Amino acid sequence: MKNKLTLRKVRWKLTLICAGTTIFILLVMSFLLLSISQKNLNNTHFLSFQNNMTAFLATIEAQTVFSHKWLADAERVGKFQVQIKDNGNDFLFNSQTENETKTLLFEYAKSYYDSRYNPVLLPSPSYHTEFHLTYEKSSYYVCIANLSREGGTLEVIVTYSTADLERLIAGQRILFLAINLAAFLVLLLFAYYFTGRLLAPIAENQKNQTNFVAAASHELRTPLAVILSLTSACKKTFPEEKNFYLDTIESEGKHMSRLVNDLLMLSHTDSHTFSIEKADWEPDTLLLNSFEAFEPMAKENGITLSISLPDEVSAPYFLDRERILQVLALLIHNALSYTPSGGRVDLSLKVFHKFLLFQVSDNGTGIADLEKENIFKRFYRVDKSHNDKNHHGLGLSIAAEIVQAHHGSIQVSDTQGGGSTFTVALPL
């Protein structure tokens, strides 16, 4: 439970780090892009205002007379406001269109221009200047021009409100913010899913470790309890009966020792400290050795044990003799244990394609299809009520680890007519 909580915490931390880092980079990039885009937008607008002004002023300069309607149309189309003074006198147009705010803006623009640009009369009598102006928290583009005409000069002030442009920029900012927010949410989901997948094998591993420790403790508890109770009984009994108790204690101790060895071996495979020492060995000799080792047990159990080897002598094969003998012993021991008296167990060796195949086939109880995958799991026993001290459900998982270390595979299938056939395939 605690592990689960820690993993959940790690998952959230990783999610936030992943999504946070990515969104930070995204935000910086968006911010840079946005400022570049807005700078360009401002420049383009200002350039377009300058061009408009050049055209507008050229038209004014070219006309000797221009009507009130023409100026009003120009103002409406260009979305700007104009003030014209002829030799310092207001045009009729001004008095008709200006209100107090407009007049104040023109005055402010003129005084700002005079103070900022300190105009000097250029050699060319006509000139115009465009600049940015902020007046009462609003932004404007302003054009101030002096146009020389017959009989004097025209002083023109044009103001253009950039409110539309600011609205456009504000819209862009909101859009960017919304996109970034949506990206953050998507990233968060993705990172959560991704870290979940990343941590799944760790969680699985942790679960397996916990189950393994629980099962191991459970298996060790029984012989330990027997040893303890026999020890206390031994203390109270007559000296001539002590040997009986001591023999049983020794036998339980041996079971425990075997189990601990198995556990150690699996723990070595888990921590990748399990090593195999390969050398050239003849596989038929190995199978023959195993056959000879189990012949007495087969006889004792009333089971016929047979062996079939290829006709030609097998070439030496690069393997770990002790480990492969261990695998064969586990399979033969199982076959003899799960085959009733009167049954048979056949051992065989074949070379098939590029594989060396060891087969242990019995006509015993067999294994249901649904159980075939499970039997290779640690501490898994099909018949849990079958309480044999030599069977802890670790044999096949150890065999699988050894075969895997040889880059081979182990499989179980049904024997024709009933029973199980275990095949160990080692690549040649």
Closer of 49 and 338 to ligand ADP (Cβ): 338
Nearest distance in Å: CB 3, ligand ADP: 27
Nearest distance in Å: CB 308, ligand ADP: 18
Closer of 283 and 366 to ligand ADP (Cβ): 366
Q: Between residue 349 and residue 408, which ones bind ligand ADP under the rule CB under 6 A?
A: 362, 364-365, 367, 375, 380-383, 391-397
Nearest distance in Å: CB 252, ligand ADP: 17
Number of residues that bind ligand ADP (CB under 6 A): 21
Closer of 223 and 395 to ligand ADP (Cβ): 395
- The whole-angstrom separation of Cα 378 and Cα 266 is 9
CA angle at residue 375 from 373 to 376, to 5 degrees? 80
Nearest distance in Å: CB 301, ligand ADP: 13
Residue choice 94, 159, 420, 423 for contact with ligand ADP (CB under 6 A): 420
- The whole-angstrom separation of Cα 350 and Cα 359 is 8
CA 72 to chain centre: 65
Both structure tokens of 152: 């004097």
Q: What burial class does residue 1 get, using C-beta atoms within 10 Å of its C-beta: 0-12 exposed, 13-18 middle, 19+ buried?
A: exposed
Where on the phi/psi map is residue 122: left (φ > 0), alpha (ψ -120 to 50), or beta? beta
Nearest distance in Å: CB 8, ligand ADP: 34
Closer of 156 and 367 to ligand ADP (Cβ): 367
- The whole-angstrom separation of Cα 428 and Cα 426 is 6
* Nearest residue to 419 (alpha-carbon basis) of 343, 347, 348, 349: 343
Q: Between residue 299 and residue 338, which ones bind ligand ADP under the rule CB under 6 A?
A: 330, 334-335, 338
Nearest distance in Å: CB 25, ligand ADP: 52
- The whole-angstrom separation of Cα 56 and Cα 428 is 92
Cβ-closest position to ligand ADP? 395
Closer of 27 and 329 to ligand ADP (Cβ): 329
- Answer for the pair 41, 165: CB distance below 8 angstroms, yes or no: yes
Does residue 20 touch ligand ADP according to CB under 6 A?
Answer: no
Q: Which residues contact 94 (CB under 8 A, 6 or more apart)?
A: 83, 84, 85
Q: Between residue 135 and residue 154, which ones bind ligand ADP under the rule CB under 6 A?
A: none
Q: What burial class does residue 413 get, using C-beta atoms within 10 Å of its C-beta: 0-12 exposed, 13-18 middle, 19+ buried?
A: middle
| Stretch 168-207: interaction string toward ligand ADP, x if CB under 6 A | ----------------------------------------
Nearest distance in Å: CB 371, ligand ADP: 7
Nearest distance in Å: CB 396, ligand ADP: 3
Q: Which residues contact 50 (CB under 8 A, 6 or more apart)?
A: 130, 143
Q: H-helix or E-strand containing 143?
A: strand 138-149
3-state secondary structure of 349: strand
Nearest distance in Å: CB 389, ligand ADP: 10
Residues of this chain that bind ligand ADP (CB under 6 A): 330, 334-335, 338, 362, 364-365, 367, 375, 380-383, 391-397, 420
